[in-house]
Amino acid sequence: MKVNAVRKYKTPAYPTSSEFKHLPELAITKKWNENIIKSSLAVAMTAFLLNGCGYDLDGGEVLSGEIAAPYILTEEEAFKIIYEEANAAGINLKENSYTVKSLKLETDLDVIKDLYPNIDFNSLRTQEALELAYDKITFELDLYDEEKKVGIEYLHFTDEDLDVIDRYNLKELVNYSLKEHEADKYIKIFENEGYNNNREEAEEDLREQIQEFFEYLKAEGVI
């Protein structure tokens, strides 16, 4: 048998969530199918961050190369850090005590361009995301201090209520809209940012974000 070298091959790409749904060997049950889709989204986000594609609404590039998944904190691990920092700052957070109702997302294209400098408005995924932005969203906050009106949501890929925000990278847009339309409150969505090799790095990443938020609250005279 003669062995010839491969001279040309297609760059491997991750299946989309819709493609996963039609893979019979994977879509054994609805439960398994949902878990697979969520896992694929997490891996896609990993690749997005590793390849430095920028903070835009699209992020749907074909990616290649070896990828080691970053460490993403579970909700329990994230809550532990948030509670520690909140207690030190005198913030009394309680779980599921406030619901953001019918939040209108900002649709001004100039604002969106400022939030996502590398956005491609001609991209199909960007157009899909912008269409979603016209829909009002409702979600129950993870943690909220009724007295100080401070709320925190930790965005995790297993959070079905906020799946669209995670899938289309809408966090910055939602945070901007919260400041505009929940102006009497201080609500912010957090997630692990950048690439974290292990739990310690992921914890430090989130802790720094929370501390920065609380420093802002101090400057505003909230705490």
Nearest to 105 by CA among 170, 191, 190: 170
Give the per-residue pLDDT at 9: 44
Give residue-wise pLDDT tens across range 178-223: 999 999 999 999 998 878 899 999 999 999 999 999 999 999 999 9
Instruction: Please report which confidence band the pLDDT of residue 126 belongs to, taking 50, 70 and 90 as the band edges.
Output: confident
Percentage above 70 pLDDT, the chain: 70
- Secondary structure of the chain in the HEC alphabet? CCCCCCCCCCCCCCCCHHHHHCCCCCCCCHHHHHHHHHHHHHHHHHHHHHCCCCCCCCCCCCCCCCCCCCCCCCHHHHHHHHHHHHHHHCCCCEECCCEEEEECCCCCHHHHHHHCCCCCCCCHHHHHHHHHHCCCEEEECCEEECCCCEEEEECCCCCHHHHHHHHCCCHHHHHHHHHHHCCCCEEEEECCCCCCCCHHHHHHHHHHHHHHHHHHHHHCCCC
Q: How confident is the prediction for the chain on average, in pLDDT?
A: 78
Condensed to tens digits (0 to 9), the pLDDT of residues 146-185 reads 999 999 999 988 887 788 888 888 899 999 999 999 999 9
Confidence of residue 125 (pLDDT cuts 50, 70, 90): confident
192, 70 Cβ separation under 8 angstroms: yes
Q: Name the DSSP letter for residue 156.
A: -
Scan for tokens 């760059």, then name that residue: 11
- End-to-end Cα, the chain, rounded Å: 75
Residue 18, pLDDT score? 45
CA dist 195 and 57 (Å) reads 19
The reported pLDDT for the residue numbered 217 is 97
pLDDT recorded at residue 110: 93
Please give the pLDDT value at position 76. Answer: 96
Please give the pLDDT value at position 62.
41
Q: Which pLDDT score, from 0 to 100, does residue 67 have? A: 61
Residue 42 has pLDDT above 60, yes or no: no
For residue 20, name the pLDDT band (cuts at 50, 70, 90): very low
Better-scored residue on pLDDT, 209 or 31: 209
**Per-residue pLDDT tens over the stretch 57-83:** 544 444 445 567 889 999 999 999 999
Please state the rounded mean pLDDT for residues 110-123.
90
Q: Describe the crossing of helices 75-89 and 199-219 by its angle, rounded to 10 degrees.
A: 40
- CA–CA dist 152, 190 (Å, integer): 7
For the chain, which residues make up each domain, given as ranges?
75-219
Average pLDDT of the segment spanning 47-61: 45
